[in-house]
Amino acid sequence: MKTPSLATGPEGGIRDLASLLALLGLATLALATFADYGVGWDEPGLRTYGRLLLDFYTSGLVDRRFAEFADLAYYGGAFELLWAALEPFVPGDPFLGRHLACALVGIAGVAATAAIARRIAGARAGLFAALLLALMPDWYGHMFINAKDIPFATAMALALWLACRLLEEWPRPRLSSVVGFGLATGAAVGVRVGGLAAPLALLLPLLLSVAARTRRLGPGPALADVAPGLWRLLPSVPVAVLVTLLTWPWIGLGPDHLVEAIRHFASLDFPTPILFEGAVLPATEAPRRYLLVLLASKLPEIVLLGLAALVLFGGRGAWADPRLVAVATAAGWPILHAVLAAPTAFDGIRHHLFVLPPLAVLAAIGLDRLLGAASARARLMLAALLLLGAGTAAARLVITHPYQYVAFNALAGGTAGAQGRFELDYWGTALRELARETAAALDREGLGRPGRPWLVAVCGEPGTVEPILPPWLALADEIDRADVLLAALRPGCPAVPPDRRLAEVQRAGAVLAVAGIRSARLAAARAGAVAKLAETGSLP
């Protein structure tokens, strides 16, 4: 397929340099802040899964405990296996090392997104795409803690970039592009079975090409034109299969395992309570608008502006570019599926993070076209507006640090406006900060270091806070025996009355997690401490 070539020139070189500097700045920021992030509910289990996968290989494919660990056999282990191999060589807290490794994968996703936009619309669009994706709170916030959805989204972005290369080279794609597409697709499937949909980005542009050639030449010549490309694309299949089998060995242990995994996620029965538009309902009953509403409420305003600009100012000729059709397909089919199929939905948009890179590309191209269509005077005003939008998005990341994924845009009333209407810290990453604040609060009130440790219950994954608890705080084996409760503010967690609160974690005017008194023993001790303070002016 013939696609327009883009001149580089001095301006292109400067913009490419700016993109590189933006990526380096993002990497520097990640290195400076990765230790700030708490541990998500899924991380202890995923870490164990990775170690069991490594045991499978080091045992000569004999140790198959990974296939029976929770339900994680339904997921590939591409990132987990890699981290399990690296972890013994990384000093310090293993979860912090995971966070840095995951952030680097997320930065690779930003680079792939910039590369896609650059191929289609030039260096300025590439720069915009990198900035837009990095400024999305759900990308930046998950980039450190989500070792499942960020690697999957990055692999899908790489597959999309290679799909654009294949379309440029069609009907005689280079072997390097074909093999690369197979590697990226295999890596995506090796994280989530949804990676099987990566070739859909190629399907619609090719079908449109065949349809156009059929109208001009007839069906025979049209199919004859596309057949050589399909033939050359075949080597990507065994490459993808090999990568999938290496990173997801459960698939190779049974002839029906792949179909079983597809069926598992297609009919996921996980009725966990979710908070959506102020109502608590089972995840299995999430409405069809769930993803659309959350995307509209969480994407930065500048991204929404770019998407609108592409629709309004892209021009009919823009959609003749098969690469742009591929990107629109990659962004559109998951959203369309969510609306039409209404699958089980929870944890905000985290299961659809892979739509964010193509959305960033589309928005970047829209902003680039908008600037290109404007007069010189209007361009200055637009540039000021874009700087304001980028600054607003960046400020939102700063004030919600290190829980960026809880941020909402102005359409939702900001993060404070989303409180009580949508889920915020659904992964409980604020629980580590809450545990430290709780220990400090007990210490300030003279209740630290008792003769018998205070027992702590966690509404979440206890393993996320256990390593940082002081010796005089110990995990309770059940919530009814606990003295203290640490809970994220999400459906399913017990409420903590204001008069029993010990500490809380807030960001952007919203409360993310609270700690409260559960036992009469601690309540009496606290009352005694307060009475002593009132009587003598000092704590016992």
The answer on 206 and 139 residing in a single domain is yes
Band of residue 540 on the pLDDT scale cut at 50, 70, 90 = low
Give the mean pLDDT of 330-340. 97
pLDDT surpasses 90 at 176: yes
Band of residue 451 on the pLDDT scale cut at 50, 70, 90 = confident
**Phi and psi dihedrals of 273, rounded to 5?**
-70, 140
**Full domain range(s) for residue 392:** 18-406
Place of tokens 């209007």: 378
In this structure, is residue 419 part of a structural domain? Answer: no
Place of tokens 């299961």: 351
In this structure, is residue 204 part of a structural domain? Answer: yes
pLDDT in tens, 95-129: 999 999 999 999 999 999 999 999 999 999 999 99
In this structure, is residue 414 part of a structural domain? Answer: no
The answer on 307 and 239 residing in a single domain is yes
pLDDT (0 to 100) of residue 215? 83
Q: Is 512 helix (H, G, I), strand (E, B) or coil?
A: strand
The answer on 439 and 392 residing in a single domain is no
List, in sequence order, every residue forming a beta bridge with 504; answer none if it has no partner.
Answer: 514
pLDDT (0 to 100) of residue 232? 95
Give the mean pLDDT of 14-28. 95
Average pLDDT, rounded, for the chain: 93
State the pTM of this model. 0.94
Percentage of residues in the chain with pLDDT exceeding 70?
Answer: 96
pLDDT (0 to 100) of residue 539? 53
In this structure, is residue 202 part of a structural domain? Answer: yes
pLDDT in tens, 269-306: 888 999 999 999 999 999 999 999 999 999 999 999 99
Q: Are 492 and 272 in contact (CB under 8 A)?
A: yes
pLDDT (0 to 100) of residue 99? 96
Give Cα 199 distance to the centre of its chain. 21
Q: Are 125 and 368 in contact (CB under 8 A)?
A: yes
Of the candidates 389, 406, 423, which is a domain's last residue? 406
The answer on 471 and 393 residing in a single domain is no
* Higher-confidence position of 532 and 278: 278
Cα dihedral 282, 285, 286, 287 in deg (nearest 10)? -150
The answer on 203 and 89 residing in a single domain is yes
The answer on 213 and 132 residing in a single domain is yes
In this structure, is residue 420 part of a structural domain? Answer: no
pLDDT in tens, 200-209: 999 999 998 8
With a CB cutoff of 8 Å and minimum separation 6, the contacts of 15 are: 122, 123, 124, 126, 127
Band of residue 386 on the pLDDT scale cut at 50, 70, 90 = very high
Of the candidates 372, 406, 440, which is a domain's last residue? 406
pLDDT (0 to 100) of residue 529? 79
pLDDT (0 to 100) of residue 354? 98
Single-letter amino acid, residue 306: G
The answer on 353 and 307 residing in a single domain is yes
Q: Which residue, 137, 221, 206, is CA-closest to 422?
A: 137
The answer on 130 and 255 residing in a single domain is yes
The answer on 453 and 357 residing in a single domain is no
Burial code (b: 16+ CB inside 10 Å, e: under 16) for 157-190 equals bbbbbbbbbbbbbbbebeeebbebbbbbbbbbbb
pLDDT (0 to 100) of residue 317? 66
In this structure, is residue 143 part of a structural domain? Answer: yes
pLDDT (0 to 100) of residue 61? 96
pLDDT (0 to 100) of residue 7? 45
In this structure, is residue 426 part of a structural domain? Answer: no
Q: Are 418 and 424 in contact (CB under 8 A)?
A: yes
pLDDT surpasses 60 at 484: yes
Q: Are 292 and 281 in contact (CB under 8 A)?
A: no
pLDDT in tens, 346-377: 999 999 999 999 999 999 999 999 998 888 88
The answer on 473 and 371 residing in a single domain is no
The answer on 257 and 111 residing in a single domain is yes
Instruction: Indicate the number of domains in the chain.
Output: 2
Please give the full DSSP string across 433-499, using - where no structure is assigned.
Answer: HHHHHHHHHHHHTT-SS-SSPEEEEEES-GGGTGGG--TTEEE-SSGGG-SEEEEESSTTSPP--GG
Percentage of residues in the chain with pLDDT exceeding 90?
Answer: 79
Of the candidates 371, 406, 441, which is a domain's last residue? 406
Residues in the chain: 540
In this structure, is residue 8 part of a structural domain? Answer: no
pLDDT surpasses 50 at 480: yes
pLDDT surpasses 80 at 4: no
The answer on 437 and 384 residing in a single domain is no
pLDDT (0 to 100) of residue 38? 92
pLDDT in tens, 38-74: 998 899 999 999 999 999 999 999 999 999 998 999 9
pLDDT (0 to 100) of residue 196? 97
Alpha helices in 146-218 (DSSP H): 149-169, 175-189, 200-217
The DSSP element (H or E) to which 513 belongs, if any, is strand 510-517
The DSSP element (H or E) to which 276 belongs, if any, is strand 273-276
